């Protein structure tokens, strides 16, 4: 797992998959496809639990047919694993027993260890769980945040111990990395030309081969990419203030393109290449598809608020926090694809309401 540069769960999952099967990419792909096959089932169950049986069935079938999610299930990325952990945590949260609350907290912790940006969404969920929810005692409600913290804590302790062993001369605050330290580099490099994301090699070896694991801590950007990231990156731009505004303009431009691709409405056929190409600039526009999809989604959100305000709020919260994370860091099509099941659920609720009204 090395230095805590990225969240660990995807690597752990792939290692376990290869432990069960053979040590090759085919094994990893097979297990990832199995995860992808679970996504429509879990979101169908979530739609049933939140709204109605018909909404759940429609959600499951539409999610199954979503091309960006099909591509993600065949790609070794962390989003597919997240889309299994996330609905599982929310389904367990719908129950009231202490075991369900504990398991929900564990799955939330695993989801955060898969994609750090989900922490903001789960913070909103925990505020509802602790402050607003009233169908169970407070002690039982507190099991969720407690188990979430206990799930993340071993990784955080491991990071501090490893960094202390590797760099004992560094001050204590630079050895505290709760999950990962790649946020600042994603901020600086993400959403650039071609929206190619933040994972770039830092140096070349003598043979000219790119090396991903070498960081020059004397370089302000490399240093900021690992420790005290946000502050040091902003300090760097404070020294060169003229670079920040053009950077944010580019980030917004490519973020919107990447999100349209990930929703399957920018390139033909319906985003099939989107999650692979991360919102590249050569994809053809399909404005009709975009308009139809977004209109149905907005009408669907109105329908979900009429059916179940709390569940609709959770769906909007996940989509909104995903938009925020994509805007600041990535703008990748894959970030949009993660929001697709919740958007599809809203459309399914709309269709369910139309069927019932007839």
Q: What integer pLDDT is reported at residue 81 of this predicted model?
A: 92
pLDDT mean across residues, the chain: 76
Q: Measuring CA to CA, which residue among 63, 55, 53 is closest to residue 84?
A: 63
Alpha carbons within 13 angstroms on the beta-carbon side of residue 191 total 26
Q: Measuring CA to CA, which residue among 279, 284, 319 is closest to residue 298?
A: 319
Residue pLDDT, tens place only, 130-154: 888 888 898 999 999 999 999 999 9
Q: Do residues 52 and 355 touch, judged by C-beta distance below 8 A?
A: no
pLDDT band, very low/low/confident/very high, at 184 (cuts 50, 70, 90): low
Residue pLDDT, tens place only, 265-288: 554 333 334 333 443 333 344 566
Q: How many CB atoms lie within 10 A of CB 323?
A: 16
Q: Tell the burial category of 345 from Cβ atoms under 10 Å away from its Cβ (0-12, 13-18, 19+).
A: buried
Residue pLDDT, tens place only, 328-347: 665 556 666 788 899 899 99
pTM for this model (two decimals)? 0.79
d(CA 128, CA 94): 12
For range 46-64, the mean pLDDT: 93
d(CA 327, CA 34): 30
Q: Do residues 149 and 113 touch, judged by C-beta distance below 8 A?
A: no
d(CA 196, CA 171): 34
CA distances from 199 to 75, 144, 165, 223, 288 (A): 16, 33, 26, 15, 33
d(CA 42, CA 73): 14
- Nearest-Å Rg of the Cα atoms of the chain is 21
């Amino acid at each position: 797992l090395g230095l805590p540069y990225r969240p660990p769960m995807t690597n752990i999952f792939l290692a376990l998959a290869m432990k069960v099967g053979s040590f090759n990419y085919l094994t990893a792909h097979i297990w990832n496809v199995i995860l992808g096959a679970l996504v429509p089932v879990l979101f169908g169950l979530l739609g049933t639990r939140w709204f109605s049986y018909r909404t759940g069935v429609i959600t499951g079938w539409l999610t199954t047919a979503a091309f960006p999610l099909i591509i993600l299930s065949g790609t070794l990325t962390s989003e597919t694993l997240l889309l299994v952990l996330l609905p599982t945590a929310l389904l367990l949260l719908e129950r009231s027993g202490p075991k369900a609350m504990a398991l929900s907290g564990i799955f939330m912790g695993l989801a955060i260890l898969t994609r750090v940006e989900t922490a903001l969404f789960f913070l909103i969920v925990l505020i509802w769980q602790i402050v607003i929810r009233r169908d169970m005692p407070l002690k039982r409600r507190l099991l969720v945040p407690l188990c979430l913290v206990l799930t993340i804590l071993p990784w955080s302790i491991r990071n501090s111990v490893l960094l202390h062993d590797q760099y004992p001369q560094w001050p204590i605050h630079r050895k505290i990395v709760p999950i990962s330290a790649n946020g600042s580099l994603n901020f600086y490099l993400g959403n650039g030309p071609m929206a190619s994301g933040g994972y770039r090699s830092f140096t070349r070896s003598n043979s000219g081969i790119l090396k991903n694991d070498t960081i020059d801590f004397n370089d302000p950007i490399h240093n900021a990419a690992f420790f005290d990231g946000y502050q040091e990156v902003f300090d760097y731009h404070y020294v060169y203030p003229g670079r920040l505004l053009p950077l944010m303009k580019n980030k917004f431009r490519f973020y919107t393109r990447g999100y349209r691709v990930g929703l399957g409405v920018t390139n033909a056929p319906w985003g099939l290449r989107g999650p692979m190409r991360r919102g590249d600039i050569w994809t053809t526009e399909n404005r009709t598809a975009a308009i139809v999809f977004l209109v149905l989604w907005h009408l669907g959100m109105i329908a979900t608020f009429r059916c179940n305000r709390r569940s609709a709020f959770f769906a909007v919260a996940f989509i909104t926090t995903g938009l925020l994370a994509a805007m600041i860091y990535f703008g990748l099509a894959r970030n949009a694809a993660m929001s697709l099941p919740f958007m599809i659920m809203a459309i399914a609720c709309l269709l369910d309401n139309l069927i019932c009204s007839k």
